[in-house]
Amino acid sequence: MAPILPFSTAPRHGTRGTPNKMKRMHERLEEHGNGRGPRSVLRAVEAPELLVLERLSKVYRDPMTLRPFTAVGEVSLALERGEIFGLLGPNGAGKTTTIKMILGLSRPTSGTVRLEGKDPWDFAARRRLGYLPENPCFYDHLTASEYLELTGALFGIDKNECRTRSAELLQRLGLESHAAKALRKFSKGMTQRLGLAQALLNRPSLLVLDEPMSGLDPIGRAEVKQLLREEKGRGATVLLSSHVLAETETLCDRVGILNAGRLIEVGSVPGLLASGVREWEISVDRLPPRLADSLRAGGHATTRVGSRWVVLVSDGPALQEVLRSMLAESAFIHAVEPRRRTLEEHFVAALSRPVPAPEEPR
Amino acid sequence: MNRVVAIARNTLREVARERVALILALFGAGLVGVSLVVSPLALGEGRKVVTDFGLAGASALATLLAIVLGSSLLHKELDRRTILAVMAKPIRRSEFLLGKYAGLWTSAAALLAGMVAITVALLAATSRDVPWEASGALLLSMAELLIVTAVVIFFSSFTTPLLTAFFCASTLLAGHFAEDLHYFGTHGASPLLAAATEAVYWLLPHLEVFNARGLVVHGEAVGPERLAFAGAYAALYAGALLAAGAAIFERRDFR
C-alpha cells in the first residue's frame, strides 16, 4: 500500500471571530439567505474545509486489452476557504482527471470527493462552483452575451442580474466590445477570457481553473493573476492547475505536485522551498584582502561588487565559520541571505524522485 | 425546469443556425411548390395530390432533420468538449438530455408546421377552401416526432453519429412496417421466430398509428379519440426511451 499524504496542515487564514472572518460569514449568510434554512447555512459556513479529496483514484481500462491504467492513485487533499491552491504536474500526471472528478464530470473508481460536505455528483453541490476547462471550447453558434445568458440560466440567476453581471465581467476581462460577436470568431485568448467570465458569473466559492494562463499574453496573465487575487480577497477558494511555475509561485498559497497520478508533495510555496536553500550570500564591507584570499582558497566564491564584497557559502556550518572569521577581522556584514531554489527547480527535483508504483487492480 | 428550457433554447438556436436546417426548409418549400405545378396532371385529383405530397413531404423532412442534426448533437458536445463547462454547472444529466430532446423536437416540429402551413395556404389560395382536416394530420405527425426525436436522443446517448443515424433509420423504417412484420412472423413455421417477432413487435414504435394522410386527402377529419390515443402512446414511448437514455448518459465519464 502506498503512503497517503496527510491532510493540509497549512495555517488557516485569520482566526475565528476576527472582524474579517465575521464579515465574510455575514456575506455568506446574506448570499445563502434565500430558500435555505439558517442551520444548514451555518453548517456550511463553519466547515473549515471547502473541498476534501479522500484516497481518490481513477483507473481506466484499455478497451482492447482490458489492462488497467491508474490515472489518479489515492490522492488525499483538503482545500481551505480563501486559499489559492496550485495543482502542478507534468503532462499526463492526472491533474485534469482529478479536476474532472472534483466537478462530477468523471466518477472516481474509489475514494471520495466532498464539496462543502456534498458529493459533486449531486447537481446542487455545484451551485457555488466556477470552472474553466483546459483549452476551453464554447458553443460557436452563440455570441459572448448569449453564452453568459445561458450560463446564468443554468445557475438560476435572475435575468436582469445576469445581464448586469455579464456586462461587468465582459468589461473586467476586456471583452465589452466583443459582446455581440459570434464565438467562432474569437481568438484563443478571447475564448480563455470568456471562460473566466462564465466561471465567475455566479460568484463562486470554489473556482476550479484548468490551465488558466494558457493562450494569454503577458498582460493578460497579469490581469488574470490580479483577478484571482481579488477573488481570494472576496473569500473564494481557487484551485488551479498550471504549467507556468514562475507565476504559480507568486500566486499560490499552497501547491501540490502530482506525478504519475500520485500526489507526491503538498505544502505552502515557502515551506516547500525552505528545505531547498542552495547557498548563502554574504554582503560585506571592509573585507581584508588576506581574508578574501583565504575564503577563495577555502572554495567560497568571493567577488568585489562596487565598494562591497559578495561571498557565497554553500552550507550552514561553513556559514557559521565564515561569519566568525569576518567578525574577527572587523569586517562590516551588511546582509546574509539564503539563495533558495525556485519552484521550477523544486518541481524538477521532485519529479526526478521515483514514484511509488500504484496498486493496479486486477 | 428553467435549466431544461435553457438547454432547449440553446439547441433550438444551434439547429436554426445550421446550414442543413435552412437547406431542408428551402427544399420543403420547393417540394410543395412542385406538387402544385404537377397537380393539374392528376385529372381533377390535384387537391389530393398537393395535400398528400405536402403532408408526406413535411413529415419526411422533419424526420430527416431530427436524424441528421440530432444524431451528432450529443457527439459534437463530447467531441468539442463544450459539455464540460455546461455539466460543471448545477444541472442534472437527465435535464441536459431532456433539454436537447425538447430543442430538437421543437426544431423538427417547426419545420413540419411550416411546411403544412404552406401546403394549407396554397390549397386555400387555389381552391378557396381551407382544408382544416390537415390540422389533425399535423398533430399526429407532431406526436410521431416525439418518438422519432426520442429514438435519436436514445441512440446518441451511447453511440457514434453514424451508428445513431443507422439505428434510427432502421428503427423508424421497421416501426412503419411493425404490423406486417408481426403478421409474417406469427404466420411462419418456426415458433422461435414467432416469439422473436412478437418481442420485436412490442418493442418497436408503431408509427402507422400516426399516419392519417389517407383520411385527410379524402377530406375526412381525424377523430379526437385517435388523437388522444396517439398522443398518449407517443408520450409513453418517448418517456420510456428518454428514461433509458438518461440512465445510460448518467453513467458516462466525460474524458
> Does the beta-carbon distance from A133 to B6 stay under 8 Å?
no
Beta-ladder partners of A312: A281
Percentage of the residues of chain B whose pLDDT score is greater than 70: 96
Per CB-CB distance under 8 Å, the chain B contacts of A125 are 90
Q: How far is B85 from chain A (nearest CA, A)?
A: 7
Calpha distance B135→B113 (Å, rounded): 9
Cβ-nearest to A133 among B2, B10, B81:
B81
> Does the beta-carbon distance from B85 to A198 stay under 8 Å?
yes
Most confident among A134-143, B50-59, B186-195 (mean pLDDT): A134-143
Task: Tell which wins on pLDDT, A40 or B143.
Answer: B143
| Residue A27 pLDDT exceeds 70 | no
**The predicted structure's pLDDT at residue B12:** 93
Q: Which of A44, A227, A53 is nearest to A130 (CA)?
A: A227
- Range of weakest confidence among A291-300, A307-316, B181-190: B181-190
Residue A99 pLDDT grade (very low, low, confident, very high; cuts 50, 70, 90): very high
| Residue B60 pLDDT exceeds 50 | yes
**Mean pLDDT (whole number) for A296-321:** 88
Cβ-nearest to A156 among B2, B88, B253:
B2
| Residue A8 pLDDT exceeds 60 | no
Q: Give the SS3 label for residue A333.
A: strand
> Does the beta-carbon distance from B84 to A133 stay under 8 Å?
yes
Does B87 touch chain A if contact means CB atoms closer than 8 Å?
yes
Angle between helices B93-127 and B224-250 (to 10 degrees): 150
CATH topology of domain A1-20+49-125+235-274+342-362: Rossmann fold (3.40.50)
Calpha distance B15→A142 (Å, rounded): 12
Tell me the pLDDT tens digit for each residue of A259-268: 888 998 888 8
pTM over 0.90: no
**The predicted structure's pLDDT at residue A42:** 39
CATH topology of domain A277-340: Alpha-Beta Plaits (3.30.70)
> Does the beta-carbon distance from A137 to B81 stay under 8 Å?
yes
Tell me the pLDDT tens digit for each residue of B64-77: 999 999 999 889 99
| Residue A287 pLDDT exceeds 80 | yes
Q: Which of A58, A168, A166, A162 is nearest to A111 (CA)?
A: A58
Does A136 touch chain B if contact means CB atoms closer than 8 Å?
yes
| Residue A191 pLDDT exceeds 90 | yes
Residues 6+ apart with CB under 8 A from B223: none
Cβ-nearest to A124 among B14, B86, B90:
B90
Cβ-nearest to B92 among A107, A123, A138:
A123
> Does the beta-carbon distance from B84 to A153 stay under 8 Å?
no
> Does the beta-carbon distance from B3 to A153 stay under 8 Å?
yes
Please report, for chain B, the start and end positions of each structural domain, with discontinuous segments joined by +.
2-250
**Mean pLDDT (whole number) for A285-295:** 90
> Does the beta-carbon distance from B87 to A105 stay under 8 Å?
yes
Residues 6+ apart with CB under 8 A from A79: A8, A49, A50, A51, A52, A85, A206, A237, A239
Most confident among A276-280, B1-5, B88-92, B206-210 (mean pLDDT): B88-92
Is residue B37 within 8 Å of residue B53, measured between CB atoms?
A: no
Q: Quick one: cell of A326? A: 569576518
The mean pLDDT value of chain B amounts to 87
> Does the beta-carbon distance from A139 to B10 stay under 8 Å?
yes
Does B248 touch chain A if contact means CB atoms closer than 8 Å?
no
> Does the beta-carbon distance from A141 to B17 stay under 8 Å?
yes
**The predicted structure's pLDDT at residue A6:** 37
| Residue A32 pLDDT exceeds 70 | no
Residue A246 pLDDT grade (very low, low, confident, very high; cuts 50, 70, 90): confident
Task: Tell which wins on pLDDT, A315 or A37.
Answer: A315
The chain B residue lying nearest A200, using CA atoms, is: B89
Per DSSP, helices labelled H in chain A are 19-31, 38-46, 95-103, 144-155, 159-172, 188-200, 218-234, 245-251, 269-274, 289-297, 316-328, 343-352
| Residue A102 pLDDT exceeds 90 | yes
| Residue A320 pLDDT exceeds 80 | yes
**Mean pLDDT (whole number) for B146-172:** 93
Please report, for chain A, the start and end positions of each structural domain, with discontinuous segments joined by +.
1-20+49-125+235-274+342-362, 277-340
Predicted ipTM? 0.84
Amino acid code (one letter) for B205: P
**Mean pLDDT (whole number) for B187-212:** 84
Tell me the pLDDT tens digit for each residue of A126-165: 999 999 999 899 999 999 999 999 999 999 999 999 999 9
Percentage of the residues of chain A whose pLDDT score is greater than 90: 44
Count chain A–chain B contacts defined by CB atoms under 8 A: 79
* Strand A84-88 relative to strand A68-80, pairing: unpaired
**Mean pLDDT (whole number) for A39-47:** 42
| Residue B79 pLDDT exceeds 50 | yes
